[in-house]
A and B are shown apart, each in its own frame.
Chain A
């Protein structure tokens, strides 16, 4: 927390309805965010118990510069993932970081299970355990309305964090929604909420912290603000946003399509960023403290009664990953149908990327006769959006054995029914929308949470030439980025702004609030955080050499042509050598 020598942690025991607040001086060396959250996860996790055991913790943390500079808007959540069984790490924007900051908490640790469904209501002076039993089984929007009603006095300074039926029913890739349009999307935090009977959290804060040396602070703030608003660095996120990726990835042969049987989509022009902008875009929003406005909202019209021409207009957020997972991956070529499927996944409270990849596998498994029409209930065929909408609800309700298994992720389902070669996951986490080359594939395999965001492997691929593959260099590039992102995520900046927040800018930002850090301090913190994550993964049983990549990654050509399996494993082995050396250096 700004101007403090300690990190302020709020511990919440859901079962005993007790809280304690601890000022931790020892955590300052981890800066904040993922650094602090990693240590708190390591201290509180129980590796010998399953991920959804009530004893397992949920940790939230904000960073050392949260909310006081532009685009430092995220909160990190850490937990044990029910999807992969190992490190769970996810980020969300919205107002959550702002409200944690103004409520006076750098981190929150939640453990044990409530006796009945509960809404945690957190403010600077109080934590209330509100009865959510009447809301259990209802949608996320109902919860939002209820929370807004009883927190009306904090209007504009509150954040609502909640789960839908997917989380209640502990689907392994259930998400947590923050303030309607932001999510802790990946790795199943929603299921961990559900396992604790935690329906929602409301955080309200009204603290005012005067800036001490305003002139110095404001000068630095203005410089960063202008880079965010007047340079090219952030403009693309506002203009078309990440959906702009559809066209280049398609043309380059890197767009996962039809369960990645193809690397190009014949209807890509209909689902491109420009197509969405022209046909569906109605509004752009920002997280609190961000001047960019990258949240793109699209609209579609839906008939809600069989007779009488009754229609409603639905507004839903979209970005590239959603267009990939619930569009091209499933063969949907109409933006309005994609938006409708996004809305169904949203209401179900599932991670959109995992949901799409799971459905892609189910479609092909049915086609190949590994599962039957009786299993899938509806005839899943690529392009059949109404059937996909129905299937989303069957996953959430665990309608039959097949859908219960789908709810445990594509890795698990393919182990039960076969079809592992085309179950598109990396170490249990469903793939992201980049088949760009070794960088993206190996990057996800070696990444601490098996996400494309661990080390941005697709960026490594963009700079690579065909026929010029150097496993050592790729491993170096992935490791350097992974470690650097540990530092960036300790702040916790929105990674869209990573080119704004270079090392010099970060040091200036700290200096302007009286914290004189050095470049070496940032490097040391990054390594310390990375080493902590590695310890957690090891304690949870992860071994990189045990990772097996589905064959289809090597069958469908990438942007750089067909990937060679042996080369991919060679890069992973090189990476392992490098992290072993780095771990020794950190210990030494």
Chain B
């Protein structure tokens, strides 16, 4: 799992290898690295945005972006 500099408040690592149990979702992975659900935005898997309840498979590489911000 990859994050950008934006996540430095929550995790020291920009790239994290996670061991997850079967039926784990994107939301579970976000929680596992300590990023609050309210701060995580678009999650990209294989070049495509996926929802937070997307089920992860072994070897999936996801990138977590912050929420799109603005007024």
Contact = CB atoms under 8 A, between A and B. Distances in A.
B20 interface: no
B39 interface: yes
Contact of B6 (A239, A320, A462, A466): A239
A12 interface: no
Given A232-B36, A252-B44, A559-B42, A462 B9 contact: no
Given A232-B36, A240-B6, A252-B42, A462 B70 contact: no
Contacts of A458: 68, 70
A242 B63 contact: no
A459 B4 contact: no
A244 B42 contact: no
Contacts of A274: 4-5
B5 A245 contact: no
Given A253-B49, A458-B70, A248 B9 contact: no
A321 B47 CA distance: 23
A235 B44 contact: no
B44 to A, nearest CB: 5
A253 B9 CA distance: 26
A434 interface: yes
Contacts of A321: 70
Contact of A244 (B6, B38, B47, B51): B6
Interface in A232-246: 232, 235-237, 239-240, 242, 244-245
Interface string B33-61: 00010110110100111010000000000
B68 A459 contact: yes
A587 interface: no
Contacts of B44: 248, 251-252
A248 B4 CA distance: 10
Contacts of B42: 248-249, 251-252, 462, 559
A232 B38 CA distance: 9
Nearest to B6: A244
A453 B65 contact: no
A247 interface: yes
Interface in A352-366: none
A274 B5 CA distance: 8
Given A248-B66, A559-B49, 19 more contacts: A232-B9, A235-B9, A236-B6, A236-B66, A242-B69, A244-B69, A248-B68, A251-B42, A251-B47, A251-B63, A252-B49, A253-B49, A453-B71, A456-B70, A494-B71, A495-B71, A496-B69, A496-B70, A496-B71
Contacts of A434: 68
Contacts of A320: 70
A527 interface: no
B67 interface: yes
B35 to A, nearest CB: 10
A249 B44 CA distance: 10
A242 B65 CA distance: 13
A248 B65 contact: yes
Given A274-B4, A274-B5, A452-B70, A248 B41 contact: yes
Nearest to A433: B70
Name the prevailing secondary structure of the A interface residues. Answer: helix
Interface of A: 232, 235-237, 239-240, 242, 244-245, 247-249, 251-253, 274, 320-321, 434, 436, 452-453, 456, 458-459, 462, 465-466, 494-496, 559-560
A462 B69 contact: no
Nearest to A320: B70
B49 A245 contact: no
6 contacts: A248-B42, A251-B49, A321-B70, A452-B70, A465-B51, A496-B70
A247 B4 contact: yes
B41 A462 contact: yes
Which of A248, A274, A456, A465 counts the most chain B CB atoms within 10 A? Answer: A248
A232 B71 contact: no
B9 A247 contact: no
Contacts of A456: 70-71
B68 A436 contact: yes
Nearest to A464: B51
Contacts of A237: 69
A465 B63 CA distance: 18
Nearest to A436: B68
The 3 closest A-B CB pairs, nearest first, are A248-B65, A495-B71, A252-B49
Nearest to B67: A462
Contacts of B70: 242, 245, 320-321, 452-453, 456, 458, 496
B32 to A, nearest CB: 18
A235 B36 CA distance: 14
A252 B49 CA distance: 5
A476 to B, nearest CB: 20
A235 to B, nearest CB: 7
Contacts of B63: 251
Contacts of A462: 41-42, 67-68
Contacts of A247: 4, 65
B66 A244 contact: yes
A237 B68 CA distance: 11
A458 B69 CA distance: 9
A447 to B, nearest CB: 12
Given A244-B6, A453-B71, A459-B68, A232 B49 contact: no
Nearest to A237: B69
